Amino acid sequence: MAKVVADDVPEAQLVRLLSDLVAIESVNPAYPSGERGEGAMAAFVEDYCRRLGLDVSRQPVLPGRDNVLAALRVPGARRTLLFEVHMDTVGLDGLGGEGLQAAVRDGRLYGRGACDAKGALASMLAARELLLARRNELGVNVLLLASVDEEYQYRGILRFIDSIPGDPSVDAAVVGEPTELRVVVAHKGCVRTRITTVGRAAHSSRPEEGINAIEHMAGVVAALREHRRTIAERRHPLVGNPTLSIGRIWGGTAVNIVPDRCTIEIDRRTIPGENAAGALAEIDAVLAGLRRKDGSIIVKREEPFVADWALDTPVDTAVVRAAATACRDTGVPGGPVGVAYGSDASKLWALRGIPSIVLGPGSIAQAHTDDEYVPVAHLSLAVQVYARTAMHLAAAISE
């Protein structure tokens, strides 16, 4: 067993680093006020890692929006552990400019991105300093990927996945998101789509001459509620049951016109073992059943506008064992646990079979809120857990 990291990064240094990261606006351009994207953050991460002496490169993803890769190559190591964290944040919303000014109160560091996911980024950067000092005992290469666009269409991680197996290839991954320092091995996936009923417009004084798309949609909604009861009987031990939610509805043009169109948007959360295509096929079967019952129904489903994968890394894989040991060393709860929200980890697992966990400081309860913060004490714990996971991984792989 490799000797684990013993030294600490001073808390004041972590607070300063995270405050610097919060001050760099990196709102995803899909959100209001997100004009600049992740460009300034990428420049900071690149510069920081170069000064550490790491092997730094960029991976263009979108105009002005590059992933940053920083490799710590260990002589003789054949395996590579990836640390992945996204650089973008959601919009500043009610926070305005204050969202970019980190404030420490009651042991918490407040600011946009403090927990989602700049706290993890700061801790991963600091962990690299510890690991660099122990390069010769490390036994695995450690690659950091600071990615773009996680908060919208995760094109950063998808671009990276397209590039592997590369040099170095990746054997396991730790994805930084606010998990309260628990080791997340499973989470749900998601598919979102629109369904439209098409009727025939007529004057409301003679409704029998039209076909009412809203009334037909009522039948669709009832059938989807029934379908929801069926899928809710499935269960995954860590993430629970699949869900289906109808989030929006619109239709009709005026009260005196029989509506010829009605549309809903639905959000279907998949559990490990399900996928987007399968979930959509089940919805299509529900719609086909309605058409069989009533030949006058015209109902169409669009291609999904979101299709994200579930995560289901087996608990006996090396990275899970290494992270569990690292958590035990550090005195944090560890896991393994499942959560309902998504992350970049599921893409690495579903598309390349890379055992991946999600782990980081702060709680998802504060992510995307105007009250976003990370407990300061979580930061140094995360540095230790990240560094020790890398130290333990080589031992776990060779067992």
Binding site for Zn ion (CB under 5 A): 116-117, 177
Nearest distance in Å: CB 360, Zn ion:
9
Question: Residue with the closest Cβ to Zn ion?
Answer: 116
Contacts of 33 (CB under 8 A, 6+ apart): 27, 91, 92
Q: How far apart are CA 270 and CA 277, in angstroms?
A: 10
Q: Between residues 130 and 309, which has the closer beta carbon with respect to Zn ion?
A: 309
Q: Between residues 119 and 259, which has the closer beta carbon with respect to Zn ion?
A: 119
Nearest distance in Å: CB 364, Zn ion:
8
Q: Between residues 179 and 389, which has the closer beta carbon with respect to Zn ion?
A: 179
Q: Between residues 41 and 117, which has the closer beta carbon with respect to Zn ion?
A: 117
The DSSP output letter for 223 is H
Nearest distance in Å: CB 381, Zn ion:
19
Nearest distance in Å: CB 56, Zn ion:
23
Q: Between residues 114 and 324, which has the closer beta carbon with respect to Zn ion?
A: 114
Burial 178-204 (b: 16+ CB within 10 A, else e): bbbbbbbbbbbbbbbbebbbebebbee
Q: Between residues 54 and 114, which has the closer beta carbon with respect to Zn ion?
A: 114
- 185 within 8 A of 337, measured Cβ to Cβ: yes
Nearest distance in Å: CB 151, Zn ion:
7
Q: Give me the residue label for tokens 């439209």.
A: 196
Q: How far apart are CA 79 and CA 150, in angstroms?
A: 26
Nearest distance in Å: CB 339, Zn ion:
12
Extract long-range pairs of 160-167: CB within 8 Å, 24+ residues apart.
160/59, 160/67, 160/69, 160/84, 161/347, 161/348, 161/351, 161/352, 163/59, 164/352
